Amino acid sequence: MMVGDVIRKYRKKAGITQQEMARRLGVTAPAVNKWENNNTQPDIALLAPIARLLGITTDTLLSFRDSLSSEEIAAFVKKLDRDLETREYAEVFDEVRKTLEEYPNCDQLIWQAALLLQARRNMDPVPDKEKYDDRIFGWFERCLQSEDGNIRKEAAGALFRACLQKEDYEKAQSFLSYLETDSPERKRRQAVIFSRTGKKKEAYQAYEELLFSNYQFISLVLNDLRILYMQDGDHAMAWKLADVQNQAARAFEMGRYHEVSAGLDVACWEKNVSKTEEIMRGILTAVDHIGDFSGSPLYQHMSFKEMEPGFADRLRKNLIEGMRDESYAFMRGNAFWEETLS
C-alpha cells in the first residue's frame, strides 16, 4: 500500500478531515489531497508528525509491516473460507485484493488466499470467472519468487494445473522446473503433458517407470518397517509386513521370486524350522524367475538390461552358501537343509 493510501485510510479511521489534518500539520489542504491521491509524497520531516496524528507508527505509515503472524494468517484464511461460503464471490475477492495489497511480501498469506479463491472459483458457478485469471495467476507467480521452497512448489503446481485447463502445454512445461529433477511428481506431470501432446509412447514409459520405481521404494519401506517391529519383538506385525511385501510384489507383477522372498528373516529370527524351509524352498525354486517383471504387460514400454547368462545359477549357489552361516544353525538336522547343503 502506498503512503497516500495509508494516510487516507487512517485519517478516515480517526475521523479527521483533510482540512483539519492540514491545519494541525501546518500545510495546505490541497497538499494533503495530493498525498492521498499519490501525486506527491509528504516531506520526510512530516512523517513522524503524520504518524502521531493518525495514531500509527512510521513503519505502518511506510507499509513496513510486510508480514502477518502465523496466527493472523490462519484467522484470515478461516474467515475467507467462511466468507466464500456465505457471500458473493466478487465482493469477497475485492476485499482480499485490498488486504494483499497491504501485505505484498507476505508470501504465505498470498499463496493461501490465492489457493482458496482459485478453488472456490473452479467449484462454484462464479459469474465471469475468467476475469479473475490475471489477478489470481499473478499472485501465484509472485509466490514463485518466495524464499519458502514449499510455497514456490505449491504455486508452481497451481499454475501448472491452470495451464493444463487452458491447454497451454508449453507454459505448463515451464513450471516443472520448480520441482526437483528426480521428483516423482515432476515425472508424473511430465507424463501428463506427453499424453496430451500426442507423445503417447513417452507417456506410457514415464508412467511405467513411476510404477516400477515406486514399487522399489514401497518394498524398501516395508522391509525397514518390518525390521523395526522385529527389534521391538512384535512377531505379528513382522509377519504382517512380510505378507504385505509379498502381496505388493504380486500386485506390481514383479515375478515369483519377489512374491515369496519376504519373511525369511522373520522365520530365522523366530528359529522357525518349518517356515524357514518353506520360504527357502520357494526362493530356490523361483530364482530362475527373478527377472520376470521385464515381461510384465505393466512395463511393456520400458527397456530392461538382459540378465547375464548363468546369473540365476550364481545367485542360487550364493543363496545355498549363505545357508551355511551360523545364523541358520537351528536348521541343522532338517532333511531339506542337509540335502541342499550337500
pLDDT band at 63 (very low <50, low <70, confident <90, very high): low
Rounded CA gap, 36 and 132, in Å?
A: 27
Q: Is the pLDDT of residue 329 over 90?
A: yes
pLDDT of 111: 94
- Does residue 35 register a pLDDT over 80? yes
Is the sign of the CA dihedral 142, 147, 150, 153 positive or negative? Answer: positive
- Angle in degrees, 0-180, between the axes of helices 107-123 and 133-143, rounded to the nearest 10: 140
Residue 123, pLDDT above cutoff 90: no
Query: How would residue 65 be classed by pLDDT, with cut points 50, 70 and 90?
Result: low
Spatial contact of 29 and 19, defined as CB atoms under 8 Å apart: yes
Q: How far apart are the C-alpha atoms of 78 and 105, rounded to whole Å?
A: 20
Q: Band the pLDDT of 68: cuts 50, 70, 90.
A: confident
Find the range with the poorest average confidence among 56-60, 157-161, 188-192: 56-60
pLDDT in tens, 217-267: 999 999 999 999 999 999 999 999 999 999 999 999 999 999 999 999 999
Predicted confidence (pLDDT) at residue 134 exceeds the cutoff of 70:
yes
Q: What is the mean pLDDT of residues 142-153?
A: 92
The whole-angstrom separation of Cα 98 and Cα 152 is 23
Phi-psi region for residue 198, left (φ > 0), alpha (ψ -120 to 50) or beta?
left
276 within 8 A of 319, measured Cβ to Cβ: no
**Least-confidence region, from 11-20, 120-129, 195-204, 291-300:** 120-129
Is 4 within 8 Å of 37 (Cβ atoms)?
yes
pLDDT of residue 1: 60
* Average pLDDT over every residue of 114-125: 90
**C-alpha to C-alpha distance for 280 and 291, rounded to whole angstroms:** 18
What is the average pLDDT score of the chain? Answer: 92
- In terms of Cα–Cα distance, which of 47, 46, 42 is closest to 61? 47
- Tell me the C-alpha to C-alpha distance, in Å, between residue 113 and each of 124, 137, 158, 328: 16, 12, 12, 61
Confidence at residue 249, expressed as pLDDT on a 0 to 100 scale: 96
Helices (H) and strands (E) in the chain, counts: 19, 0
Give the pLDDT confidence score for residue 60 in this predicted structure.
78
Q: Please determine, for residue 67, whether its predicted confidence score (pLDDT) is greater than 80.
A: no
pLDDT tier at 66, thresholds 50, 70, 90:
low
**pLDDT given at position 122:** 86
Residue 286 pLDDT > 80, yes or no? yes
Instruction: State the pLDDT at residue 125.
Output: 86
Buried b (16+ CB within 10 A) or exposed e, 56-84: beeebbebeeeebeeeebeebbeebeebb
pLDDT at 98 > cutoff 90: no
Residue from 193, 166, 165 nearest 179 by CA: 193
Evaluate whether 92 touches 80 at the Cβ level (below 8 Å): yes
Q: What is the pLDDT of residue 4?
A: 86
pTM: 0.74
Q: Are 47 and 62 in contact (CB under 8 A)?
A: yes
* pLDDT computed for residue 58 by the predictor: 81
